[in-house]
Amino acid sequence: MDATLKTFIIPNELCRRAGIVGTWVRVNELGVFPSQHIKTTNSDSVSLYGPSDASVFNVRQQVVLFEPILRKLVNEANGIFLSVQELMGSNVPDYKSELLKLSRQYRSIIRACLENLQEETVRAKATYKEELQNYITIFYSVECIWHLCEILFVENIPGGIVLPHLLEWVRFHFPKYERNAASLLREDVIGAELQPCYWETVIGSLMQGRIELVQALLEVHSSADGKPFQLAIQTLRTMPLYNIYGGISVSEFNLKWKHWVLDTQSKIEAKMFSSERHLNLVMRLAVGDEVAWGEMQTHREPWYAFLAASLFFKEPTVKAFELGQFARQCIAKVGGAVKMRHLDQVLLASMELDIIQVIKEIQQMSENGWFVSHLVDLLYHAGRLEGLYSDETKVIGSRLRESFLLDYGTLLMGHHSLWQVGLNYLDHCPTEGLSTIELLLPALPLKSEARTQKIIREAHKRDMPQIVQSICKVHTMDSISKGRLGNALTWGLKSQDGGFTSLIADKFLRKYKETGVLLNEDLLDNLGSSMLISDRLIFLGKYFEFHKEYRLKNYKEAANILISLLASKLTPRYFWDTLLCDAINLLENNVMVISSTDTYTLLHSLEEKCELPELKDKIDLIRLGAARNLSRALLYEMQLDKKYT
Amino acid sequence: MFEAQEVNAEHKDLIHDVAYDFYGERMATCSSDQYVKVWDQNSEGKWNLTSSWKAHSGSVWKVTWAHPEFGQVLATCSFDRTAAVWEELVGETPGPGERGTRHWVRRTNLVDSRTSVTDVKFGPRTQGLQLATCSADGVIRIYEAPDVMNLSQWTLQHEIQCKLSCSCLTWNPSLSKNHPLMLAVGSDDTNLSAGGKVFIYEYSDNIRRWIKTDTIASVTDPVHDIAFSPNLGRSFHLLAIATKDVRIISLAPIPDNANTQSGLNKLDIQTAAQFDDHGCMVWRVCWNITGTILASSGDDGCVRMFKMNYINAWKPVAVLKGDGSHISNEGHRSSVSSAASLPTPPMAAVSQTARYIKLGTISQSREAPWH
């Protein structure tokens, strides 16, 4: 058994005694109930546990992303995700810098979300507050990792000189010193060192590589005009800073840098700063004095801030691929791997450029795959998932990306209002996306007609007529069960299924036979060409027309329709008697409306159907009517013939 | 990471089966107490009992929903040697709730079996309304309702002799021109020397008969449950089997190898995964809607979940276990209602809002990655 597997407890005694069975409800929900298997051969008796009080437990995954406060994050990330897909599909030559922009957009929505959470935390009550703080921790880590990954994997750093970006990353996540420095400088008072945070801020700024800021802070010290301070400011001003665009090569820079270090060291050794204890520490740190740095290791800063600082003063031209080795050294110095939190581990893995490890780790950040899906997609498009190996098997980047997108899209499909967002992700899964949609889309509950229309639209968009048909049929059956035949017919027509529509038309005809009322006449009146989908529906439509004409006293037209129906072979078996009885009135009409030929047609049908039991007591009546009409018609037609001859 | 809503099923004995409808909004339960109950989820997520009736004169083993295209239809099977089809009728007068008063009527009673009917399943939706049953004396029966608007008429279309006692059956949900109708049946016969316990049947359009195309020879222990995975457009089928362990079998039709008479392809049968995590008899397997996670239940009192990763390898991902010894107190409970600050009545039954309990864990180690 896998020791890392989590076991969740169903708090129920019967479940423990009898055992449990699980069965899926929907995407993220499982029904669990106490049960025990009974072999087919056993006799049927009350179980050991009966009579008992059995419960069903509907177990669902807690989904952080479904919290209303995170809704914006989900929606906006979807927008950027779509932009990424659009960018990659549009053949932009400079797509890498565009990807970087989009990566920054992702981060900016995380930061907006964090701000939002922070505001809400202030207002929130105890338990909810705790939850919000949890989210803040999660998304803070997400942003921190994303930023580093962006620097290392997305950004195209000229010459691989990663340090300036690393410092920027540290400054971004530890803005405390910058804030303090700003307030110290703004106050513009003499004796800033009397503020308790003064030296902390100076050293903090120094560690973040903000040399100019350090100089400015030293200027506001009350003894700034003194010799040690002036010398320190002067020395810091001449400190060479590596800049890839500075026009000098790395070796040239290193030479300058070494020279400056030697020069400054000699000043320290000459005890030129020793009158000011803190200032002396600042200068010793600046030249990378091991003893001074050793003192700083116990500082409250996390190892990665310390790493960036020490690189700045010891290895300013460090390359990205060397980062991992320095990171490990740094972790060893600040207290080893024992204290490594999850965040630390992910950051270390990123610095070692171990993308697979990063992906493995960030799956466990309990934000339901939001992070991993978007980041992996971005890394895939940035070409960083190629040629990777996991447990000695080659990783297929596209498969990896798709599996995360499938999971994330499926998760969102399980939500009553985020399902359309989920579709957007599934749409971009080239191998299994469409079939997943085919399974999930029809299973969305059809709570309202508006929602159904939305679902149908999405199915149409993806060319899935079979889903549309199925949804329409479900609605039809639902309407039938509620006795709303008109509604049923409307949905039935939308299903475009002839056989199925016939069944509904049958319902109308049978209902008419029962009650003598044709339902939903306005609908039948407007069938138009849509009735062509099924013979039975044509019959129903025509039969309604017959009624309409008859009611308008257009007996001639009514008779024509009736005769054509009799001759058409569309008449359902159960409806013959109704149709033939309808003929009686027309045969006995004051004005002759059925010609002799038509009467023959009628009689022909009658003889064919004379076996029908339900016609038994009417058949003589119809025959009589037909005979009388025939005599009428023959006489009339003969006179007509004479007139024209 | 998980939370649960408890629904007191009000059955007088253990529940044998719980089935959710196509949308996961309705729940049907059946029990040794011979009753079937139907539950509906209200808009706040709470499950309410809407119907309860004595369905059989023996234990009701299985209950299953037809696709909603055929209306609100259930099928049950029982120790009393029958299977039954039930349809819900909505009363004319709208009662509480928008659907009006409802009750279930027995549309048909299928009495062909001479022994306990052990499983009942509706066929794929595209095939109309078909129903398969299997029984303890080893007979598989396929019924059909030719008129989907009239569920009181069912005809016995096929009767297949399986020789061994049948415990479970499953329809293959994937249908295309390349795949004929397919059924798999499991036997819980304990005689290991009787050979394979899972049989694959396919329907041949050419000769209009069901034909046993394969026996899965690698499974000789008794089989208690069997389930085809929903197919994601793959060329092969996946079949989960609950036997002495959890087995996932892939069945790939071998192209251009059709039997001249039946027109059916031979299958290439491979074991895709095998898990003895339960360490004992497994008796239920269930796929999620996309076929990406398999839940299995065993004699160890656990429900175990297995997930396929991106290279089609299966891994255990989570375990559920029943344990009443540390029933959570009020402090652990959390209500999804935002009105939690209002004084709420102490009786949970009064509230229409679903109450979810956060599930505790026993192993403190970190959760396994899902990939």
Tokens representing A194 are: 């009397």
Same domain for A226 and A306?
yes
Question: Residue A71: what are its φ and ψ, rounded to 5°?
Answer: -60, -40
3-state secondary structure of A219: helix
pLDDT band, residue B92 (cuts 50/70/90): low
The mean pLDDT of B295-310, rounded to a whole number, is: 92
pLDDT band, residue A116 (cuts 50/70/90): very high
3-state secondary structure of A214: helix
A123 touches B: beta carbon within 8 Å: no
A62 touches B: beta carbon within 8 Å: yes
pLDDT for A317 equals 83
Question: Residue A568: what are its φ and ψ, rounded to 5°?
Answer: -80, -20
Sheet strand arrangement including B139-145: B117-122, B129-135, B139-145, B155-161
Residue among B219, B234, B104, B233 nearest B167 (CA) = B219
| CA–CA gap between residue A336 and residue A351 (Å, rounded) | 16
For residue A507, pLDDT beyond 70 = yes
The mean pLDDT of B241-262, rounded to a whole number, is: 88
Put simply, the answer to whether B301 touches A61 (Cβ < 8 Å) is no
Same domain for A190 and A325?
yes
Residue the block writes with tokens 């990663």: A162
Is-contact A470 A491, C-beta < 8 A? no
For residue A400, pLDDT beyond 50 = yes
Same domain for A101 and A148?
yes
CA atoms within 13 A on the CB side of B330: 4
Is-contact A16 A32, C-beta < 8 A? no
The total domain count for chain A is 4
Residues 6 or more apart in contact with residue B270 via CB below 8 angstroms: B249, B250, B252
pLDDT tens string A190-230: 667 777 888 888 888 888 888 888 888 888 888 888 888 89
pLDDT for A189 equals 64
Put simply, the answer to whether A6 touches B59 (Cβ < 8 Å) is no
Same domain for A17 and A92?
no
Q: Which residues of B touch A35 (CB under 8 A)?
A: 14-16, 297
Is-contact B56 B34, C-beta < 8 A? yes
Among A24, A46, A61, which residue terminates a domain?
A61
Domain of A198 in residue numbering reads as 169-352
For residue B178, pLDDT beyond 80 = no
What is the per-residue DSSP string for A91-107?
Answer: T-TTHHHHHHHHHHHHH
Which residue type occupies A465?
A: P
pLDDT for B352 equals 61
Q: Which residues of B touch A57 (CB under 8 A)?
A: 4-7
Chain A interface mutation, best of B35, B290, B338, B361, highest count of A Cβ atoms under 10 Å: B290
Tokens representing A538 are: 């044509």
Same domain for A198 and A330?
yes
Is-contact A513 A575, C-beta < 8 A? yes
For residue A27, pLDDT beyond 50 = yes
Same domain for A42 and A70?
no
Q: Which residues of A touch B19 (CB under 8 A)?
A: 23
A8 in any annotated domain: no
Q: What percent of chain B has pLDDT over 70?
A: 86
Is-contact A35 A21, C-beta < 8 A? yes
Query: Greater confidence, A488 or B324?
Result: A488
Same domain for A197 and A294?
yes
B320/chain A closest Cα distance in angstroms: 5
Is-contact A38 B16, C-beta < 8 A? yes
Put simply, the answer to whether B324 touches A12 (Cβ < 8 Å) is yes
The mean pLDDT of B84-105, rounded to a whole number, is: 74
Closest B-chain CA to A57: B6
What integer best gives the mean pLDDT of chain B? 85
A340 in any annotated domain: yes
pLDDT tens string B121-145: 999 998 899 999 999 999 999 999 9
pLDDT band, residue A50 (cuts 50/70/90): low
Question: CB-CB: which of B20, B360, B369 is closest to A360?
Answer: B369
A643 in any annotated domain: no
The mean pLDDT of A89-108, rounded to a whole number, is: 92
pLDDT band, residue A26 (cuts 50/70/90): confident
Query: Greater confidence, A69 or A316?
Result: A69
Q: Which residues of B touch A49 (CB under 8 A)?
A: 13-14
Is-contact A280 A274, C-beta < 8 A? yes
Q: How many CB atoms lie within 10 A of CB B193?
A: 5
The CA-atom distances, in angstroms, between A297 and each of A90, A311, A483, B129, B358 are 49, 14, 79, 74, 41
| CA–CA gap between residue A204 and residue A438 (Å, rounded) | 56
Q: Which residues of B touch A60 (CB under 8 A)?
A: 2-5, 356
Cα distance from N-terminal residue to C-terminal residue, chain A: 106
Among A379, A414, A445, which residue terminates a domain?
A445
Is-contact A8 B361, C-beta < 8 A? yes
**Interface size between A and B, measured as CB pairs under 8 A:** 335
Is-contact A538 A570, C-beta < 8 A? yes
Residue among A466, A458, A457, A512 nearest A485 (CA) = A512
Same domain for A385 and A397?
no
Evaluate if pTM is beyond 0.90.
Answer: no
Same domain for A74 and A51?
no
Query: Greater confidence, B154 or A220?
Result: B154
Put simply, the answer to whether B334 touches A127 (Cβ < 8 Å) is yes
The CA-atom distances, in angstroms, between A408 and each of A373, A544, B294 are 7, 52, 18
Same domain for A320 and A251?
yes
A58 touches B: beta carbon within 8 Å: yes
B24/chain A closest Cα distance in angstroms: 5
A47 in any annotated domain: yes
A464 in any annotated domain: no
B188 touches A: beta carbon within 8 Å: yes
DSSP B67: P
A471/chain B closest Cα distance in angstroms: 8
Q: Which residues of B touch A13 (CB under 8 A)?
A: 322, 324-325, 327
Residue among A397, A377, A427 nearest B310 (CA) = A397
Same domain for A348 and A286?
yes
Query: Greater confidence, B360 or B2?
Result: B2
pLDDT tens string B185-226: 999 999 988 899 999 999 998 899 999 999 999 999 999 999
Query: Which domains are delineated in chain B?
Result: 14-161 (2.130.10.10)
Is-contact B362 A7, C-beta < 8 A? yes
Put simply, the answer to whether A15 touches B328 (Cβ < 8 Å) is no
| CA–CA gap between residue A338 and residue A250 (Å, rounded) | 36
pLDDT for A190 equals 65
User: Chain A 564-623, CB below 8 Å of chain B: which residues?
Assistant: none
Same domain for A132 and A79?
yes
Closest A-chain CA to B61: A38
Tokens representing B301 are: 């009192």
A460 in any annotated domain: no
pLDDT band, residue B255 (cuts 50/70/90): confident
The mean pLDDT of A444-460, rounded to a whole number, is: 93
What is the per-residue DSSP string for A579-629?
Answer: HHHHHHHHHT-SS--S-HHHHHHHHHHHHHTTT-GGGTTTHHHHHHHHHHH
A491 in any annotated domain: no
pLDDT tens string A583-620: 888 888 888 889 999 999 999 888 888 888 888 888 88
Q: How many CB atoms lie within 10 A of CB A247?
A: 7
Q: How many CB atoms lie within 10 A of CB A127?
A: 10
Question: Residue A505: what are its φ and ψ, rounded to 5°?
Answer: -60, -40
Query: No. of H helices and E strands in chain A?
Result: 30, 6
| CA–CA gap between residue A112 and residue A124 (Å, rounded) | 18
A517 in any annotated domain: no
The mean pLDDT of B306-330, rounded to a whole number, is: 78
pLDDT tens string A526-565: 888 999 999 999 999 999 999 999 999 999 999 999 999 9
| CA–CA gap between residue A529 and residue A527 (Å, rounded) | 6
Tokens representing A553 are: 């006293």
B89 touches A: beta carbon within 8 Å: yes
ipTM (interface predicted TM): 0.87
For residue A473, pLDDT beyond 70 = yes
pLDDT tens string B18-54: 999 999 999 999 998 899 999 999 888 899 999 999 9
| CA–CA gap between residue A22 and residue B296 (Å, rounded) | 7
For residue A247, pLDDT beyond 80 = no
Angle at CA of residue A591, ends A589 and A594, nearest 5°: 75
What integer best gives the mean pLDDT of chain A? 88
| CA–CA gap between residue B156 and residue B113 (Å, rounded) | 11
Query: Greater confidence, B164 or A50?
Result: B164
